[in-house]
Chains A and B, each alone.
Chain A
Amino acid sequence: AQSVSQHNHHVILSEAASLELGCNYSYGGTVNLFWYVQYPGQHLQLLLKYFSGDPLVKGIKGFEAEFIKSKFSFNLRKPSVQWSDTAEYFCAVNAYSGGGADGLTFGKGTHLIIQP
């Protein structure tokens, strides 16, 4: 079975600081990887995803993530955070099955607070 581990459950940063949120998954085969964000009072929305090709993927709002297959990692980064980045961040994975029948396996989430 797949599992996803997010290392930091709560992160507090000041505006303009750099951000890196860790995500590791356990699955030996081909995977699709996702980062979702949930802003206060809103529903989950996709930040970025990786399924093939360039392991460095860029998403919305200046976020990027790097897939390192040898480390089973998909860390999320942003060079300079803003107060509006305060949210819950979820890493998710599904195993490539061809039929697309697998639901996403999520990590427990990282609650990010940006102090102005």
Chain B
Amino acid sequence: GAGVSQSPRYKVAKRGQDVALRCDPISGHVSLFWYQQALGQGPEFLTYFQNEAQLDKSGLPSDRFFAERPEGSVSTLKIQRTQQEDSAVYLCASRRTGGGADTQYFGPGTRLTVL
């Protein structure tokens, strides 16, 4: 079946612009995660949804970062007033259940470059 998809795959923004990154999880997956991966680093957790509820946003680096999943399927990560340090690959993952041992399936990521 279809995996996790993300759009756009690449985004170039000027510093100060707002951006919106989209994630389409695997159909029926309850859990959805966002991660940020800087160059040469492992992914870092940003936020977690179970259905439409945002249960953990402890990894969001500042109040410029905002995520939503209003209908419990598609999710959007929004970054306001982008800064150069926001340049990274943003990964979305979905998980069939709410169980921590269940596998997270990752999308291809959106590479954000802030000039």
Q: For chains A and B in complex, what number of residue pairs have CB atoms within 8 angstroms?
A: 81
Q: Is the interface of A mostly helix, strand, loop or mixed?
A: loop
A75 at the interface (CB under 8 A from B): no
Q: Which residues of B contact A (CB under 8 A)?
A: 3-4, 31, 33, 35, 40-48, 50, 55-56, 59, 91, 93, 95, 97-109
**84-116 of chain A: CB within 8 A of chain B:** 90, 92, 94-97, 99-109
Q: What are the nearest 6 A-B pairs in CB distance?
A: A103-B45, A106-B42, A51-B101, A100-B100, A44-B106, A100-B98
Residues in A neighbouring B55, C-beta threshold 8 A: 99, 101
Q: Is A102 within 8 A of B107, CB to CB?
A: no
Interface size class of A (residues with CB under 8 A): 20 to 34
* Apart from A99-B100, A103-B46: 9 A-B pairs, beta carbons within 8 A: A43-B109, A49-B101, A90-B42, A99-B98, A100-B31, A103-B33, A103-B47, A103-B48, A109-B42
